[in-house]
Amino acid sequence: MATHVKRAFKYRFYPTDAQAAELSRTFGCVRKVYNLALAARTEAWALRRERINYNATSVMLTAWKQTEELAFLNDVSSVPLQQCLRHLQAAFTHFFAKRAKYPRFKAKKRTRKSAEYTSSAFRFRDGKLTLAKMPEPLDIVWSRPLPKGTAPSTVTVTQDSAERWYVSLVCEDPSIKPLPATGTAVGVDAGLDHLLTLSTGEKITNPRHERHDRTRLAKAQRHHARKVKGSNNREKARRKVAKIYAQIADRRRDHLHQVTTRLVRENQTIVIEDLTVRNLLKNGRLARAISDAAWSEFRSLLEYKAHWYGREVIAVDRWFPSSKLCSTCGSLQNKMPLSVRSWTCDSCGTTHDRDVNAANSLLAAGLAVSACGAGVRPQRSTPGGQSAKKQEALRRDP
């Protein structure tokens, strides 16, 4: 692993009216250039079977700026416009490698507002950050210090749906080093009644953040639906709904950070189940609860923290019958309905808690696969996945 890990430090800031206007213009120009480049690349392939790369779109950007119709692109910093072309190139790279779908056009209301600045477009001195085209530094709330002796390489400014402004600074963090080896391993079974069940027998409660605020959220949504479309009052009501959603997401993310950090610190090897959450969300009865549990975000946080600190995350194949397999003798039960929360093995007579047994079975399978050196990292998604109903049934009752 590299000596220093690049890490993003995210802070909230409060722009002046002039800064907010400049950033809003930049967001609009970034979206416009991205859509123009995507349309040009799509048209070139559809009509002439010609592939256009980043260099060609960069030349196009220069030509667009010289037209009367798109002359407004000169009013903002050129760096975020170039960066969005690089992001489009990365999106096509992932598409051709079959890691992602075809890039979509950016919509004003649906797409996250963001602009990325490289070192040539910002100045960071004495703890103050000044962006290009802005005479004054940003009023940033420094909730935690940046690593000493480092300077940001890129700065990304975003505005969420609740109209909160954030700036993310990417720096090298020399404090991130592999933790001392512990020699311990744990199996983790994800669920809804309990967010996580560990092979140690510990069950981590599912906070159900969305359910906690469901009444308040429903009231705000009804209030929003009654307003006249396009009115200022409807926009105010929309911001109230977005604020509630943002609070739910913040609490959920904070809880997942605490859980994943603890798992990485305490265990050398962590075995999880490879779930296709996208397919599970097609189950209309459980989709809301699955979304609130945020299993995909849990896995993402766990994997990058394990990479940082020298731990190992093993993902067992999603079709592995963890719930039906006796973790004591290894016999496989014929049936295991989801309603059965505890069961007794017909072969050895051991009584199991369903989730604890699944975690222990995952741990044993993960360690065995790791020792063999095969199948440790199954694909997170496969083309032509199974239906959500079958996926859920086989996850709990293979």
Mean pLDDT for the stretch of residues 239-247: 95
When mean pLDDT is compared over 85-94, 147-156, 316-325, the highest value belongs to 85-94
pLDDT of residue 243: 96
Based on the number of CB atoms within 10 Å of its own CB, is 226 exposed (0-12), middle (13-18) or buried (19 or more)? exposed
The tokens describing 307, both together, are 């990479």
Q: Which of 189, 210, 274, 303 is catalytic?
A: 189
* 152 falls within a domain: yes
Lowest mean pLDDT, pick from 39-48, 220-229, 366-375: 366-375
Query: Do 118 and 195 have their domain in common?
Result: no
Q: Which of 116, 210, 273, 292 is catalytic?
A: 273
Is the pLDDT at 29 greater than 90, yes or no? yes
Q: Does residue 272 contact residue 190 with C-beta atoms inside 8 Å?
A: yes
Is the pLDDT at 360 greater than 50, yes or no? yes
189 is catalytic: yes
pLDDT of residue 326: 85
Q: Does residue 114 contact residue 27 with C-beta atoms inside 8 Å?
A: yes
Number of structural domains the chain divides into: 2
Is the pLDDT at 388 greater than 50, yes or no? no
355 is catalytic: yes
Query: Do 16 and 151 have their domain in common?
Result: yes
Task: For tokens 């095969």, name the residue.
Answer: 374
Rg (CA), the chain: 25
* 77 falls within a domain: yes
- In whole angstroms, give the CA distance from residue 71 to residue 62: 10
Task: Name the residue range of residue 354's domain.
Answer: 185-206+255-396
Query: Do 157 and 270 have their domain in common?
Result: no
Query: Do 276 and 335 have their domain in common?
Result: yes
Query: Do 309 and 337 have their domain in common?
Result: yes
Query: Do 95 and 134 have their domain in common?
Result: yes
Domain end call among 173, 196, 222: 173
* 222 falls within a domain: no
* 234 falls within a domain: no
* 233 falls within a domain: no
* 229 falls within a domain: no
Query: Do 190 and 144 have their domain in common?
Result: no
Query: Do 128 and 264 have their domain in common?
Result: no
Helix or strand (DSSP H, E) at 333: none
Q: How many CB atoms lie within 10 A of CB 150?
A: 17
Q: Give percent of the chain above pLDDT 90.
A: 69
* 223 falls within a domain: no
273 is catalytic: yes
Cβ-proximal residues to 246 (8 Å cutoff; 6+ apart), any chain: 160, 161, 162, 164
Query: Do 143 and 194 have their domain in common?
Result: no
- In whole angstroms, give the CA distance from residue 81 to residue 31: 9
Domain end call among 173, 194, 216: 173
Query: Do 282 and 155 have their domain in common?
Result: no
Query: Do 199 and 165 have their domain in common?
Result: no
Q: Which of 292, 303, 355, 392 is catalytic?
A: 355
Q: Does residue 217 contact residue 245 with C-beta atoms inside 8 Å?
A: yes
* 212 falls within a domain: no
- Here the CATH number for the domain that contains residue 314 is 3.30.420
Query: Do 157 and 191 have their domain in common?
Result: no
Domain end call among 118, 150, 173: 173
